[in-house]
Amino acid sequence: MPSRAAALDTFRDHIVSTGSAFLRNVRWTPNVTCRTCTGIPNPGYADCYKCHGRAGSAGLADTLGFMTYAWPDSQAGRTMRAYKANGAASYELVSSLLTYAVAAHWDCIATRTGSHPDAWAYVPSLAGRNGQHPLARIASGVLGRIPHVQVTANNYDDDARAFNASHFTAPPTTASHVLLLDDTWTTGGHLQSASAALKAQGVLRITGLVIARWLDPSWSTTKTFISELAQDFDPTLCPYTGTPC
């Protein structure tokens, strides 16, 4: 179980004081945002184009949560890039976002799915990058003694964002419910492929938790949606439902 306690309030206050002015909670609004990934579908559709195309495939995540939207040339977008480079303030903010979301909404996972995760994993960067992924460093702090399942990225020739379990390798594991973390969801191909790789090893349930749902404002529907995201970020809203929990 993640370490909870009074430290949680410190993370929440840090998010509010340094990020709430430019981060934006995702919306779970039927027929306005994708019911799977909170992206923007074509008008009148329940799922975005990518989720619609993968629907029904074996290995997909069972439950997904998202913290904030981000898009090109936004401060949220710059934060998601800088936290992996050497932006100390961005790293601290992303660290607080992930730590708070994992710990404060830990029981929400069991409420929605019937069980708490018994292991965690993260979606690794594409093959060839060295060093510990910052997501792994942050997550190992909050997830404490919960076992980590190390997913690795493979080299492949097809579209890196395609849904394909062979893009990743997961080791044999006895875990039945894995919390799968990712920093940015653009098309969802990475997280869903990693989910399928874990399920191929016998994992029964995947709960995905993503820091930023990336939006593409070159689509006019999305551009309008972004322009109407006026509300400051509230970390207490549930990443799995968009409502208080």
Q: Which is nearer to Zn ion, 45 or 78 (CB)?
A: 45
| Dist. CA 107–CA 105, nearest whole Å | 6
Among 65, 15, 83, CA closest to 179: 65
The C-alpha angle 108, 61, 200, rounded to 5 degrees, equals 130
105 binds Zn ion (CB under 5 A): yes
Question: What string marks each residue from 60 to 99 as x (binds Zn ion by CB under 5 A) or -?
Answer: ----------------------------------------
Can you name the residues that pair with 178 across neighbouring β-strands? 119, 206
Residues 143, 197, 206, 238: which binds Zn ion (CB under 5 A)? 238
**Distance of CA 61 to CAs 180, 211, 236, Å?**
9, 16, 23
Q: Rounded to an integer, what distance in angstroms lies between the CA atom of residue 54 and that of residue 16?
A: 35
- Pick one of 36, 68, 195, 222: the residue that binds Zn ion (CB under 5 A): 36
Residue of the chain from 40, 51, 143, 210 that contacts Zn ion (CB under 5 A): 51
Residue 39 interacting with Zn ion (CB under 5 A): yes
Segment near Zn ion (CB under 5 A), from 32-40, 91-99, 117-125, 200-208? 32-40
Q: How many whole angstroms separate alpha carbon 47 and alpha carbon 16?
A: 31
Residues in contact with Zn ion by the rule CB under 5 A: 34, 36-37, 39, 48, 51, 105, 108, 238, 245
